[in-house]
């Protein structure tokens, strides 16, 4: 398996750099094995209060963990990256999630530019597969004109997840802080129409070499995906494994990003055990660019993330 890491700098970014402004860059990690190519592309980054992730964790122990990563306290603000996975196997061109599009946060919505940078047009995408329906994974499914961004693609989502976000009662039942998640998801799913989606259940191969793995908790019907390559499996974890430190070193701790705290923690433990037991490479949506690496077991329910180098 050949793994590489590169960065693209747009012409606009180069102009910004010459003007003394921050350059606009997309991180790209690439895995190549046989006829399989897997890229991670940046949709930008979220801007969140640190408490969104860390508030439910045991605070005394959390302070020690954060200190080991150079933080004196819970950061006031965190900026997790958004890494979209693209799989090409010579027949299919598959996107796992589609980023935020416009209207969520100003720091996201860059996936169309990132795809353009590697020469992939929206019409080239044959399948769009969703880990779940949160804004930074789903909302980019429509363009600025409320038309399907990937109009020629088959859209695929777990049935539990699709039913949850399609249900008008979800808006009344969800945490009020996530009400916009529910209304935004329903509008986009309704605009596309149920006939536009292929739904799946359980652990099942949804495309050749793409195994859907239930990983409920972060959202009610969240899925991870195990991708088969000639050199081993690659697990696209979505948000089931959410960051570089707490999610690996203390996977049993509750994360505020999960809709179901208990289920989210149980899923992290199960998924990390599977990834390490099968020596998988993993791709995390919010893990530091390019989001690719290995999980190394360091003790009972303790892991360390080993990022892609090079």
Q: What is the pLDDT of the chain when averaged over all its residues?
A: 92
pLDDT tens digits along 162-194: 999 999 999 999 999 999 999 999 999 999 998
pLDDT tens digits along 39-67: 999 999 999 999 999 999 999 999 999 99
Residues 6+ apart with CB under 8 A from 108: 43, 44, 45, 46, 82, 99, 100, 136
pLDDT tens digits along 19-34: 333 344 555 799 999 9
Query: Residue 27: its pLDDT value, please?
Result: 53
Alpha helices for 193-289 (secondary structure H): 246-249, 261-277
Least confident of 124-133, 150-159, 283-292: 283-292
0.75 exceeded by pTM: yes
Query: Which strands form 204-207's sheet, in the order they lie side by side?
Result: 204-207, 210-214, 223-229, 232-238, 281-284, 292-299, 302-307
- Cα–Cα distances (Å) from 196 to 154, 187, 192, 237, in that order, read 7, 14, 6, 24
Give the domain ranges of the chain.
2-307
The fold for domain 2-307 equals: Metallo-beta-lactamase; Chain A (3.60.15)
Dist. CA 208–CA 227, nearest whole Å: 9
Kindly state the average pLDDT of the residues 241-255: 96
């Amino acid at each position: 398996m050949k793994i590489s890491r590169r960065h693209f700098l747009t012409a606009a970014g180069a102009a910004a750099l010459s003007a003394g402004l921050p350059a606009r860059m997309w991180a790209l990690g690439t895995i190549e094995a046989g006829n399989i190519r897997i890229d991670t592309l940046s949709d930008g980054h979220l801007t969140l209060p640190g408490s969104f992730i860390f508030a439910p964790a045991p605070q005394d122990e959390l302070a020690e963990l954060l200190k080991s990563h150079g933080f004196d306290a819970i950061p006031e603000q965190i900026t997790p990256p958004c890494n979209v996975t693209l799989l090409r196997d010579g027949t299919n061109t598959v996107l796992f999630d589609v980023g935020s599009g416009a209207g969520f946060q100003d720091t996201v919505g860059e996936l169309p530019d990132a795809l353009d940078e590697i020469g992939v047009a929206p019409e080239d995408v044959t399948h769009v597969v969703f880990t779940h329906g949160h804004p930074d994974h789903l909302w980019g499914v429509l363009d600025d004109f409320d038309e399907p961004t990937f109009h020629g693609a088959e859209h695929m989502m777990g049935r539990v997840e699709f039913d949850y976000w399609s249900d008008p009662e979800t808006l009344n039942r969800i945490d009020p802080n996530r009400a916009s998640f529910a209304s935004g998801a329903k509008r986009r799913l309704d605009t596309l129409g149920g006939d536009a989606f292929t739904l799946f259940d359980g652990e099942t191969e949804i495309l050749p070499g793409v195994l859907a793995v239930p990983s409920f908790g972060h959202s009610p019907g969240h899925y991870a995906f195990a991708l088969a390559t000639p050199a081993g499996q690659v697990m696209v974890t979505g948000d089931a494994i959410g960051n570089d430190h707490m999610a690996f070193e203390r996977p049993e701790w509750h994360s505020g990003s999960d809709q179901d705290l208990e289920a989210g923690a149980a899923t992290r433990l199960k998924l990390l055990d599977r990834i390490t037991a099968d020596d998988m490479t993993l791709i995390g949506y919010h893990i530091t660019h390019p989001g690719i690496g290995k999980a190394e077991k360091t003790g009972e329910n303790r892991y360390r993330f080993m990022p892609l180098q090079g």
